[in-house]
Amino acid sequence: MVTVTAGGVSAAVHSVLETALGELTVVREGDSLTGLYFRQHWPRPERTAFGTLSDEGFDEVARQLGEFLAGYRRRFELPLKVTGGEFDRRVWELVARVRYGETTTYGKLARSLGTGIDPRDVGAAVGRNPLCIIVPCHRVVGATGKLTGYAGGLYRKRALLEIEQAGAARAGCAREARLW
C-alpha cells in the first residue's frame, strides 16, 4: 500500500540503476524513496533535487524493481515519501489503488475525485508522479483504452502493461479483455 503524504524538504541522495527498461534514477531521503525517474523522464526535476550520488542504501529498491520487471513481484514493499500538491496527491492515491494487471482511465479517476474535475487535469497530475512504476501511472489509459502519454515513453508503458498481463496470467488472474 502506498501512503502519500505532504512533507518537508530534507537531504536527498540518489543512485542510477540499470534495469530491463533502461536507466532509472532513484532518489531517497533517509530510508524513504522519494523519486524514480527514467533517463528522458518528462517532466524531470532539476538534478539538484536528486541530492548527492550514492550507491549505498538502494539494494532493496533495486531488488524489488528487478523482481517486478521480471514479472515476479506484484507490489512494492518500500517506505515512500511522496510530496506534491493536494490535488496531485489525491490523484496518486487513486492511481496507487489500481490493481496489478488492470487499467483505469483518466476519466474514471476524474469522476472518482468528484464533479467538475477534468480528465486532462488528472492526466497532468499523473504526469507529475515522482515515483513511476511504484505509483503505477502506467496503468492509466485513455478513454478508449488507447495508450496515452507516459513520462518514460509509450514503449515503456506498453512493456510495463505486458509484464503485468503476463504476471497476472501466471498467477491465474488473466482478464479476457485486452489492456489496451
Question: Could you list the active site residues?
Answer: 137
- Quote the CA–CA distance of 150 and 153 in Å, as a whole number: 5
Confidence band of 178 (pLDDT split at 50, 70, 90): very low
Confidence band of 173 (pLDDT split at 50, 70, 90): low
Please give the pLDDT value at position 29. 95
Q: Which residue has the cell 512494492?
A: 76
Best CA proximity match to 42, nearest among 150, 135, 117? 150
Q: What is the pLDDT of residues 39-56, one digit of tens each?
A: 887 777 778 889 999 999
Query: What domains can you pick out in the chain, each with its CATH number?
Result: 1-180 (1.10.10.10)
| Mean pLDDT, range 130-147, rounded to an integer | 95
All 3 cell numbers of residue 105?
482511465
The answer to which of 17-26, 27-36, 67-76, 146-155 has the lowest mean pLDDT is 146-155
Q: Model-level pTM greater than 0.75?
A: yes
Confidence band of 4 (pLDDT split at 50, 70, 90): very low
